[in-house]
C-alpha cells in the first residue's frame, strides 16, 4: 500500500493541522470546521495529481483551448458525523463527484475501554471501476476504516481507493497496512502520532472531531 504523509514537507497544510490541534482555537467550532475543510481541500488537490486525465477541447470567446480534465469518476465516502467537514473540503474540489455515507460508531463495554465497531447505515452508488476516496478525520485503531472499506466493497470494485485521514496513530496505520490490500489502495495522512490512550484516543491527537465540529452528544 502506498502511503503519503503531508506534514513531512513544510506548507500551509501544517498551519491548518496545528490550528485543528490547538485547544484555544478549538473553542471556535466554526473555525474548527473550516480548518478541517481546508485540510480536505489540500488533500483533495494532492490526490488529484495522481488520477488519470484526458485532453478536451474547450471553446472560449476567441477560439479553442486544449485542457487536461479528469477522466475518472470520483466517489467521495465519509463516516458520519465527524467526517462531514472534511468531506465538504473534498467536495469543494471534486465538485462533480458522487457521494457515499457510512454510519459507524464505537460500542463500548462496561469498562469504557474495550469496544466493537458498529455500523447500521450505508448509502453508496455503485463503485465498479470508479475512484473511491474514503475520508475520516481520525485514524485511531483503524478498525472503523477497515470495516467501512469492506462494506463499501459490497457496492462494487473501485479501480483505485484513496484513504485520507488528517490525524492518525502509528498503531492505526500499521493496522491498515496489515488488513487492506497492498495494491490499488493509497493512504494519505496529515500527521502520524505515536500513541493511543487506554480508551484508544490518539495522543496527542486533537480530541473528539465530531464534538469539536458540531457540539457534544449524549
How far apart are the C-alpha atoms of 195 and 68, rounded to whole Å?
Answer: 42
Q: What is the percent of the chain with per-residue pLDDT over 90, rounded to a whole number?
A: 84
Handedness of CA 190, 82, 158, 55 (dihedral sign): negative
Residue 32 has what DSSP assignment? H
Strand 98-108 versus strand 131-135 pairing type:
unpaired
How much is the pLDDT for 177?
97
pTM for the model: 0.92
pLDDT-based confidence at 80, cuts 50/70/90? Answer: confident
Q: Quick one: average pLDDT of 174-178?
A: 97
The DSSP line for 13-29 is HHHHHHHHH-TTGGG-H
Contact 41, 66 (CB under 8 A): no
How far apart are the C-alpha atoms of 127 and 15, rounded to whole Å?
Answer: 34
- Residue 206, number of CB atoms within 10 A of its CB: 22
What fold, for 2-214? Rossmann fold (3.40.50)
What pLDDT, in 10s, does the model give residues 30-75?
A: 999 999 999 999 999 999 999 999 999 999 999 999 999 999 999 9
What pLDDT, in 10s, does the model give residues 5-33?
A: 999 999 999 999 999 999 999 999 999 99
* Higher pLDDT pick, 109 / 158: 158
How far apart are the C-alpha atoms of 21 and 35, rounded to whole Å?
Answer: 10
Amino acid at each position: 500500500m502506498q502511503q503519503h504523509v503531508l506534514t513531512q514537507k513544510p506548507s500551509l497544510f501544517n498551519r491548518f493541522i496545528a490550528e485543528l490541534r490547538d485547544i484555544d482555537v478549538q473553542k471556535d467550532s466554526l473555525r474548527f470546521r473550516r480548518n478541517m475543510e481546508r485540510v480536505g481541500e489540500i488533500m483533495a488537490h494532492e490526490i488529484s495529481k495522481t488520477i488519470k486525465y484526458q485532453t478536451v477541447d474547450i471553446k472560449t470567446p476567441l477560439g479553442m483551448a486544449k485542457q487536461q480534465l479528469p477522466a475518472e469518476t470520483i466517489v467521495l465516502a465519509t463516516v458520519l458525523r465527524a467526517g462531514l467537514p472534511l468531506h465538504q473540503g473534498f467536495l469543494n474540489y471534486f465538485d462533480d463527484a458522487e457521494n457515499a455515507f457510512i454510519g459507524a460508531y464505537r460500542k463500548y463495554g462496561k469498562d469504557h475501554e474495550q469496544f466493537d465497531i458498529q455500523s447500521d447505515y450505508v448509502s453508496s452508488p455503485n463503485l465498479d471501476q470508479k475512484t473511491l476516496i474514503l475520508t475520516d478525520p481520525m485514524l485511531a485503531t483503524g478498525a472503523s476504516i477497515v470495516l467501512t472499506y469492506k462494506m463499501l466493497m459490497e457496492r462494487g470494485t473501485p479501480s483505485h481507493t484513496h484513504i485520507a485521514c488528517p490525524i492518525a496513530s502509528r498503531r492505526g496505520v500499521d493496522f491498515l497496512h496489515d488488513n487492506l490490500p497492498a495494491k490499488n489502495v493509497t493512504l494519505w495522512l496529515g500527521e502520524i502520532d505515536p500513541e493511543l490512550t487506554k480508551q484508544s484516543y490518539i495522543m496527542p491527537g486533537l480530541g473528539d472531531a465530531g464534538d469539536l465540529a458540531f457540539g457534544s452528544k449524549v
